[in-house]
Structure 1
Amino acid sequence: MALSQLFVHPLKSCRGNAPHQAEVTPQGLRDDRVWLASRADGQFISARSHPRLVQVGVTRQDDGRWCFTAPGMPPLLTSPADYRQRVPATVWKSAFSALHGDAAADAWLSHYLGEPLRLLWLGESTRVQKTTADTLSFADGYPYLLLSEASLADLNDRLDSPVTMRHFRPNLVVDDTFAFEEDEWQRFRIGAVEFEVVSRCTRCVLTTVDPDSAQPDPQRQPLATLLGYRRLEEGVCFGVNVIARNSGTLQLGDAVEVLDSALAFD
């Protein structure tokens, strides 16, 4: 088994970047979910309600600034140094504080999505993970999401129109497993970094949004198919939520070793 893909989403719900290597930190891959689109009260928005977010590209520049791009919009350059005002932020039931500051970035985001919005920077996060004392980014609830290529292939065999890994927004993708084998993993290692599986990942309507066109699927695929055979006790599950037990750098092709699993092989 090996690490076959890496994805970093700098803005929550934005288009993912696919680097060849990425730094592992307790709160997630470096630069993952460090920006957030929110309303004035700090309540987050995502592509569940604003599908066009998936077409926003975000890259960190060599000078420390960040470049935001979107269809029909001029590029936006903004610097974390301009984000100094600590304001309330909320992601689901998690309330914490984030940084606000660049009025031009707010205007850019508001114009693109057609309503008054703020762009928030994570900064030194005050948000704490559910299962550890480590801080967390603007991710839904866990710092890492892992999927296997075999699980996606199993799903695509059931669909009339196949979907991509990008529909599910993982951070870590592994190859050469059985379909849904990752559900049974408890601890595993990628390269020199050890991870622990915390839970299976429940899926929502965001999986039905095409990552290129931003159009929701009229048949609610692939969620409708997942509902038929992946409805587990927690909900409709696809992938696993993961925490890192140490830091390091991951590279595509790194070996994946399962350290503990509920599956037993003779």
Structure 2
Amino acid sequence: MKVTQLYIYPVKSLRGIALPSATVVGTGLENDRTFMLLRVEGGETTPRKLNNMSVSRVTEMALFKTALVQSSEGDGDSFEQFTVTYAGPSSSLPPTTITIPFVPDTENLEMIDVVMHKSPTQAYDMGAEYNSWFSAQFGYEVVLAYIGNMRRPVLGSLWPSAAQSAVTSATRSVSRYLSSYLPSSIVAKGEESRPPGITFADIAMFLIVTEESLAEASSRLPEGMEMDIRKFRPNIVLSGAEGAWYEDLWGQINIESKDGVEVELALTANCARCVSINIDYSTGKQALGEKGTVLKKLMPDRRVDKGNKYSPIFGRYGYLGKGAGSSISIGDDVSVVKRLEEPTTFDWKTK
């Protein structure tokens, strides 16, 4: 098999960025889902509350595009910022854009609490400049949050013990290295013992899908109509599987990176799908006609996970075993090194 597409999503639920290559870090692909949006509820007379925003519930999030900003030094592989551009479907106004640093200065930013799928973390409120821009586009008060070095715990049995051991070892090595150069006040207390975790991705570091399964899903639509793979929001797209849905029984894949390092991904859970795959990206609303029925068309035979028995499955969630710091690219060879006898059962909520 080969890697055919790579994507990151700097802001959760906004459109992603297609990449020719991507760096693998301890939380997935570098710069993936390190920001998210929250709607502000309440105010003067009631307590202020921040509600998570996701494209399945706030469909107009599909109208926001993201893109890389070239480094001022002209290094073709160096990107320190990205843009978010909003263009309303019926607006006569030109698109509006804001530039955001991948690693912002957090020294004077306020901390907020974020809980996603019962997995909590703290994050940074990016402040008035960014919050005001997003609020103006949505028409209500919104906060842009940045996770920084904080992490969300993985619940249930989704975290593979082998991956945890490898990533924890790498995390401790980096912490010891930083400790030798930085004042003790800067190195977070207990950093070496902190378990690895995830960013604002729903439940895993990686989402892997195949071109073969996409083709089978598209075959359920009328002739000449194809499903847009971006609506499945993958990180890594593969081609060359034995057939559609074979990934249901993959337990581990290895990617042979061009720098000679083998990147190991443990695949421990299925990705259950929701109404977000029915959204029309040109209108920011649920699609009309056949394109708005993709979820329904997958229901009859793709509800294969006993832990998510009401949702069809498309793709596998993965966690890093080894290979942090490597770069993976389109065209890299991929092999299945572990196959399962039966599909995994989703158990995120049971800890």
TM > 0.5 fold call = yes
Name the residue aligned to 1:146: 208
154-163 vs 189-198, which moves further: 154-163
1:16/1:65 CA distance change after superposition, 3 Å: closer
Q: Identify which of 128, 149, 154 aligns with 1:124.
A: 149
Q: Is the 8 A contact 1:15 1:211 kept in 2?
A: no
Q: Which moved more, 1:184-193 or 1:53-62?
A: 53-62
Is 2:124 the partner of 1:99?
yes
Percent sequence identity over aligned pairs: 25
2:246 to 177, 181, 187: 181
Change (3 A) 1:126 1:188: closer
Letter in 2 for 1:218: L
CA contact (8 A) 1:147 1:239 kept: yes
Distance 1:215 1:168 in 2: 16
Partner-residue secondary structure (3-state), 1:18: strand
How far residue 55 of structure 1 moved from its aligned partner, in angstroms, is 2.1
* Shift of residue 250, structure 1, vs aligned partner: 0.5
- Structure 1 distance, partners of 2:327, 2:153, is 23
Deviation at 1:73, TM superposition (A): 4.5
- Contact residue 278 and residue 294 of structure 2 kept, 8 A: yes
Mapped to 1, the partners of 2:286 and 2:19 lie a distance apart of: 27
Q: Check whether the contact 1:10–1:59 (CA below 8 A) recurs between aligned residues.
A: no
Distance in 1 separating the partners of 2:105 and 2:318:
31
Displacement of 1:159 in angstroms is 1.1
Q: In structure 2, the residue corresponding to 1:39 is in which secondary structure?
A: strand
Q: 2:315 aligns with which of 211, 223, 239?
A: 239
CA distance in 2, matches of 1:188, 1:66: 30
Distance, in Å, in 2 between the alignment partners of 1:77 and 1:237 is: 35
2:302 corresponds to 1:230: yes
Name 1:211's counterpart in structure 2: 281
Quote how far apart the aligned CAs of 1:69 are.
Answer: 1.1
Distance 1:147 1:33 in 2: 18
Distance 1:78 1:188 in 2: 34
AA in 1 matched with 2:312: V
Matches of 2:62 and 2:247, distance apart in 1? 26
Distance 2:68 2:111 in 1: 22
Higher percent of residues as helix: 2
| Deviation at residue 169 of structure 1 after TM alignment | 0.5
Aligned residue number for residue 258 of structure 1: 336
The alpha-carbon distance between structure 1 residues 60 and 85, as it changes in their structure 2 partners (threshold 3 A), is farther
Over residues 63-116 of structure 1, what are the superposed CA-to-partner deviations in whole Å (9 max), with x where a residue is unaligned?
634422111552212441157222111223222110113202111111111211
Unaligned runs of 5+ in 2: 41-48, 73-79, 88-93, 165-194, 257-261, 343-351
Matched residue SS, 1:43: strand
Structure 2 distance, partners of 1:106, 1:65, is: 17
- Asked whether the 8 Å contact 2:109–2:127 carries over to 1, the reply is no
Which region of structure 1 is more displaced relative to structure 2, 60-69 or 146-155?
60-69
Number of residue pairs matched? 264
Amino acid at match of 2:249: E
SS at match of 2:105: helix
CA distance in 2, matches of 1:207, 1:194: 28
Partner SS, residue 17 of structure 2? coil
Who is 1:34 aligned against?
34
What CA distance in whole angstroms lies between the structure 1 residues aligned with 2:272 and 2:250? 16
Q: Which amino acid aligns with 1:222?
A: V
- Which consecutive unaligned segments of at least 5 residues does structure 1 have? none
1:89 aligns with 2:114: yes
2:111 is aligned with what amino acid?
Answer: R
The match for 2:84 is 68
Q: Give the CA deviation at 1:17.
A: 0.7
Q: Residues of 1 paired with 2:200 and 2:125: CA distance?
A: 14
2:171 matched to which residue of 1? Answer: none
> How far off its partner does 1:210 sit?
2.3
Q: What SS does the corresponding residue of 2:36 show, helix, strand or coil?
A: strand
How far 1:135 moved relative to its partner? Answer: 2.1
In the alignment, the residues of structure 2 paired with residue 126 and residue 43 of structure 1 have an alpha-carbon distance, to the nearest angstrom, of 19
TM-score by length of structure 2 reads: 0.71
Counterparts of 2:18 and 2:341, CA distance in 1:
31
Q: Residue type of the partner of 1:84? A: L
Q: Distance in 1 between matches of 2:287 and 2:148?
A: 35
SS for the counterpart of 2:18 is: coil
